[in-house]
């Protein structure tokens, strides 16, 4: 039976190849994701490992607040002297460097005044290096010498090569203030890593970096080397008693592992995100495999019955069909693994196009990638083919001698409607549990939503065969009315085998349902964000950054205030602090001017802005409810530098839940600047008077010329910029979901090819009675388009229902259900286009059939 199965596959090469494509693409996405993320992981491992190769012990400030613009707590410079005096210390050096939180940014400026890297700019690191202790740095000079003095800098080799800078050239650097010019004394690279992505770095001597980042008499870290015979652990124990409460000490190995863990956690989340789309593609591929093998088994009824007549047992027939699925899965998985290399590079190019480029080294293909790819590809193919295989075992031997014998109906066929409705009901319960039941962690929510969605897709697919006839009759009306005889036959053919048509359209249904959910949610989020910004903002102009989550230099606000034509300016500082064991965003506002630009909606408090002072706080209503605060309540706030502020709640605001411009906790700018070590602005709001010599926009842009990290936007442009942030993410989702559409397209091609093969005699008879080749092609195209429209008729409404459920769960954030009619029309056109494309080859194949041979076909 093994030989029979393999010969059967070789005899159906085209069908086997088309069947395999569905799995090839899914496995390629999964293996490509592993290759891409493993390559990133290796790059980060090299970066973190080489950072501490010559270091036995690292002293650093504690990370008191996550994702703070101020970074970790800093160390007093006198601590370096105390460390050097310890008996076990051989050498020690202080540095200004924060690779994790990037609290010391340094943007390099090209000769034309633009930031190197542009919109896709990655992290920009400013580093203060003690060049007398090079054993502690992973940086290596490729040309020139290290910087010494307030006018010198060393830049990374990537920026130097790409933008044609050399030793001796002058380059602008933007750190915490306006752009300053520096002479390049050297070009350096970061260890042996092949690329640091679209990141850049600027290396100064330590005193220059301390001045630039307002860290006079402070270090970010101190690297220490032990004397011979002293272990890193012993050295760490000796250092620990002299450290302040805000400092910590780790061995070089421990620090490298901690840095690597932070990077790996982020990559693992990133990997899960991408694997979800690979899983969707494979899920769609499972429908394609199931449909294809079902059709193939049905077409081989006489062949399988003949095998039974010749003595093959049901078990042998089952093994034969399962073996075919195994071989198809194996070949498809191997091809998918090979294609995964290209997908990995494609994913890198995709994220670079979206402005995300990360450190990486040579391509990594881990054994886990190969094992997972093979297991998933083969497993899904075998499982998807199991039901057709079981049906094959029920072929009675007598069918071998019957003309036009068909498969016997499944015993579950009579209960299919009840089974479908039950599956849909269970899926709805799981989705409702994930969306509306409180107390679930994120993993449980994602699992409930994923399982629920899969169950609904399967249920609708099972129910689809009952809906195909009325849907085909409806969406086939244009073909029936305008397609002539070919269109009428196409409509009837689509209705002839509803189970097959349903299974084919189900694959497309899933992809269209998912993109509909994304489109509806995105449209609702964009509309809600626009309303939220309009409800809060009343400014002529806003100074912000291209990255909406990244603050800019506080001195940029001062520069704008002095511009010609400016009436009033109000700065909003931003950072994070720790309150009640929770990291919270904090805004520093100017009480005298903020009310002119920001519309507060007060839930409690009597003229709160006038009461802020140096210890007042205005909190958002949701924050007050979570922490049981009211006007007059006290709260303690610890800043990233270790300072503790005792605050009194003077007001409670009720901003829009979606996209609030101010943070949950707001204090006065004076209190903010005193508590946070590196105050930066999130916004600067500007109102202007009538211009004198130039338009206000020109004057404002001129005042910001020395601050390339600051962007000037009108209020309407600012609103659009907030919306564009959603649009960019939605575009990425569309690109990733497109893979499932492509898989369903192959399924449609496969079904049409098998349908043409199955109807060879029928097509021959149609040709014999006068149907032209052109009419034959038109009939096949109409059939395919009708199938695509059925997928749209099932998928788009299903997507709308799922989007409505998710929107209902997000209603607490003021997200409203909003249908993007134009986008849904585009999706319908995509379905039609998919049908046309899928029919190209089958239509040509049908038209080229030899009439006499077709009439003799069995």
What are the tens digits of pLDDT across the range 92-120?
999 998 877 777 888 899 988 888 865 55
Report the distance separating Cα 549 and Cα 735, nearest Å: 24
Q: Residues 520-558: pLDDT tens digits?
A: 888 888 888 888 888 999 999 999 987 777 888 899 999
Q: What is the pLDDT of residues 5-57, one digit of tens each?
A: 556 666 566 666 767 777 787 788 888 888 888 877 776 676 666 677 788 99
Q: Looking at per-residue confidence, does 138 or 616 come out higher?
A: 616
Lowest mean pLDDT across 502-506, 714-718, 800-804: 502-506
List, in sequence order, the alpha helices (H) in 145-218. Answer: 157-162, 206-212
The mean pLDDT of 398-409, rounded to a whole number, is 54
Read off the pLDDT of residues 762-796 as tens digits, 9 standing for 90 and up.
Answer: 777 877 878 888 888 888 888 888 888 888 888 89
Q: Nearest Cα to 535, choosing from 666, 682, 712, 655? A: 655
Q: How far apart are CA 292 and CA 473, in angstroms?
A: 24
Sign of the Cα pseudo-torsion (741, 483, 852, 840, in order): negative
Q: How far apart are CA 451 and CA 29, in angstroms?
A: 21
Written as one string, the DSSP assignment of 575-613 is: EEEEETTEEEEEEEE-HHHHHHHB---EEE-SSGGGG-T
Distance in angstroms (rounded) separating the CA atoms of residues 664 and 619: 5
Per-residue pLDDT of 420-467, as tens digits, reads 888 888 888 888 777 776 554 566 777 777 788 888 888 887 787 788
Q: Is the pLDDT of residue 406 over 60?
A: no
- Contact in structure between 823 and 524 (CB atoms under 8 Å): no
Rounded Cα gap, residues 636 and 634, in angstroms? 7
Q: Mean pLDDT across the chain, nearest whole number?
A: 82
To the nearest 10°, report the CA torsion of 444, 449, 455, 459: 160
Q: Which of 845, 689, 684, 687 is nearest to 777 (CA)?
A: 845
Tell me the HSE value of 52 on the side-chain side, using a 13 A CA sphere.
24
pLDDT at residue 742 greater than cutoff 50: yes
Whole-angstrom Cα distance, residue 636 to residue 773? 82
Q: Average the pLDDT over 595-618 and give the result.
A: 92
Mean pLDDT across 176-193? 87
With a cut of 80, say whether residue 356 has pLDDT above it: no
Residues 769/772/777/781 CA torsion (nearest 10 deg):
-70
- Specify the higher pLDDT residue, 492 or 78: 78
Q: What's the CA gap between 709 and 108, in Å, rounded? A: 11
Strand partners, 57: 224, 251
3-state SS assignment for residue 190:
strand
Cα 248 to Cα 72, 222, 263, distances in angstroms: 11, 11, 20
Each residue of 545-592: pLDDT tens digit? Answer: 877 778 888 999 999 998 888 899 999 999 999 998 899 999 999 999
């Amino acid at each position: 039976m093994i030989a029979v199965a393999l010969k059967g596959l070789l005899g159906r090469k085209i069908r086997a190849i088309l069947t395999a494509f569905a799995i090839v693409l899914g496995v390629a996405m999964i293996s490509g994701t592993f290759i891409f993320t493993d390559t990133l992981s290796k790059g980060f491992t090299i970066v973190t490992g080489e950072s501490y190769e010559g270091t036995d012990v690292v002293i650093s400030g504690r990370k008191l607040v996550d994702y703070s613009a101020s970074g970790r707590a800093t160390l007093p410079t006198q601590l370096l002297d105390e460390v050097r005096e310890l008996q076990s210390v051989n050498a020690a050096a202080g540095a200004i460097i924060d690779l994790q939180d990037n609290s010391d940014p340094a943007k390099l400026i090209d000769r034309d005044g633009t930031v190197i890297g542009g919109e896709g700019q990655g992290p920009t690191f400013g580093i203060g290096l003690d060049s007398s202790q090079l054993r502690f740095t992973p940086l290596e000079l490729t040309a020139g010498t290290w910087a010494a003095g307030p006018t010198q800098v060393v830049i990374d080799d990537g920026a130097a090569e790409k933008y044609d800078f050399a030793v001796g050239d002058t380059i602008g650097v933007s750190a915490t203030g306006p752009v300053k010019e520096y002479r390049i004394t050297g070009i350096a690279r970061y260890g042996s890593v092949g690329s640091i992505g679209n990141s850049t770095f600027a290396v100064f001597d330590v005193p220059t970096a301390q001045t630039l980042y307002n860290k006079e008499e402070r270090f970010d870290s101190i690297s220490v080397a032990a004397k011979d015979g002293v272990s890193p652990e012993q050295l760490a124990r000796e250092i620990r008693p002299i450290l302040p409460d805000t400092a910590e000490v780790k061995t070089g190995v421990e620090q490298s592992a901690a840095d690597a863990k932070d990077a790996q956690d982020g990559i693992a989340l990133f990997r899960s995100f991408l694997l979800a789309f690979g899983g969707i593609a494979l899920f769609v591929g499972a429908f394609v495999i199931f449909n294809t093998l079902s059709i193939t088994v049905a077409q081989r009824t006489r062949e399988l019955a003949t095998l039974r007549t010749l003595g093959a047992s049901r078990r042998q027939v089952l093994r034969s069909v399962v073996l075919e699925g195994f071989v198809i899965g194996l070949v498809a998985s191997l091809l998918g693994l090979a294609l995964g290399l290209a997908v990995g590079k494609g994913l890198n190019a995709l994220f670079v196009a979206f402005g995300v480029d990360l450190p990486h080294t040579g391509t990594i293909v881990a054994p886990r990638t190969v094992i997972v790819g093979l297991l998933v590809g083969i497993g899904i193919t075998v499982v998807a083919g199991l039901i057709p295989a079981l049906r094959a075992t029920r072929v009675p031997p007598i069918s071998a001698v019957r003309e036009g014998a068909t498969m016997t109906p499944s015993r579950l066929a009579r209960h299919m409607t009840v089974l479908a409705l039950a599956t849909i009901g269970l899926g709805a319960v799981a989705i409702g549990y994930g969306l509306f039941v409180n107390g679930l962690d994120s993993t449980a929510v994602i699992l409930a939503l994923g399982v629920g969605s899969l169950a609904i897709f399967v249920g609708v697919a099972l129910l689809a065969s009952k809906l195909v006839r009325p849907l085909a009759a409806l969406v086939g009306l244009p073909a029936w009315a305008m397609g002539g005889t070919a269109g009428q036959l196409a409509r009837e053919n689509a209705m002839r085998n509803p189970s097959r048509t349903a299974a084919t359209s189900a694959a497309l249904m899933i992809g269209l349902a998912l993109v509909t959910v994304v489109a509806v949610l995105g449209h609702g989020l964009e509309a809600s964000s626009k309303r939220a910004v309009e409800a809060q903002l009343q400014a002529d102009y806003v100074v912000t950054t291209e990255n909406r989550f990244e603050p800019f230099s506080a001195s940029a606000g001062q520069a704008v205030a002095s511009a010609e034509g400016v009436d009033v300016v109000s700065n909003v500082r931003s950072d994070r602090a720790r309150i009640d064991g929770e990291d919270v965003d904090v805004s520093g506002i100017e009480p005298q001017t903020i009310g002119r630009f920001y519309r507060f909606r007060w839930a409690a408090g009597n003229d709160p802005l006038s009461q802020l002072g140096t210890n007042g706080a205005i909190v958002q209503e949701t924050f007050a409810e979570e922490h049981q605060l009211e006007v007059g309540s006290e709260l303690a706030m610890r800043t990233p530098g270790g300072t503790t502020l005792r605050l009194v709640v003077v007001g409670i605001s009720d901003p829009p839940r979606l996209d609030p411009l101010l943070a949950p906790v707001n204090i006065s700018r004076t209190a903010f600047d005193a508590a946070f070590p590196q105050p930066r602005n999130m916004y600067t709001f500007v109102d202007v008077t009538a211009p004198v010599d130039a338009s206000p926009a020109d004057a404002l842009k001129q005042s910001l010329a020395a601050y390339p990290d600051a962007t000037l936007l009108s209020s309407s442009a600012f609103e659009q910029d907030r919306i564009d942030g959603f649009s960019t993410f939605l575009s990425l989702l569309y690109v990733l979901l497109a893979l499932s559409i492509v898989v369903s397209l192959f399924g449609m091609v496969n079904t049409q090819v098998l349908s043409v093969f199955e109807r060879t005699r029928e097509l021959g008879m149609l040709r014999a009675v006068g149907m032209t080749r052109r009419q034959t092609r038109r009939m096949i195209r109409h059939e395919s388009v009708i199938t695509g429209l059925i997928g749209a008729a099932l998928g788009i409404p299903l997507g709308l229902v799922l989007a409505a459920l998710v929107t209902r769960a997000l209603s607490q954030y003021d997200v409203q259900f909003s249908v993007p009619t134009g986008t849904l029309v585009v999706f319908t056109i995509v379905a039609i286009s998919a049908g046309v494309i899928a029919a190209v080859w089958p239509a040509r194949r049908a038209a080229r059939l030899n009439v006499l041979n077709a009439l003799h076909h069995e």
